[in-house]
Amino acid sequence: MIEEVPTIQGDALLEEVIPDTLESDLPLPVVDESGEVQGMLSRSSLAEVLSDQNSSGGESTDRDAQPDSVTEKDKDTAA
């Protein structure tokens, strides 16, 4: 039985993706505007991003400027 897989838009705000990511047992695909998979977002990568934001005092980091940096790392673990 195939269930519809929830996806995350690549331009989604962090606050928008937290609930779905935490509720999912598997990494969620991050897709572009045409629906093509650009990477994956897992609980662990989300925790890493949140940890980086807390340690930087909420200031923008290089990782914030490059949204694909988290998803590209998890692409290898999902394969």
51-72 pLDDT, tens digit each: 988 887 755 544 444 444 344 5
- What size, in residues, is the chain? 79
Measured between alpha carbons, how far is 12 from 19 in angstroms, rounded to an integer?
Answer: 12
- Cα 60 to Cα 15, 47, 75: the distances in Å are 15, 16, 24
H helices of 1-79, in order, are 14-23, 43-55, 62-65, 68-78
* pTM for this entry: 0.63
Q: Give the Cα separation of 27 and 47 in Å (integer).
A: 13
Q: Does the pLDDT at position 77 exceed 70?
A: no
Q: Quote the CA–CA distance of 76 and 58 in Å, as a whole number.
A: 28
Give per-residue pLDDT as tens, 2-48: 688 889 999 999 999 999 999 999 999 999 999 999 999 999 999 99
Q: Which two tokens stand for residue 44?
A: 């662990």
Q: What pLDDT is recorded for position 59?
A: 54
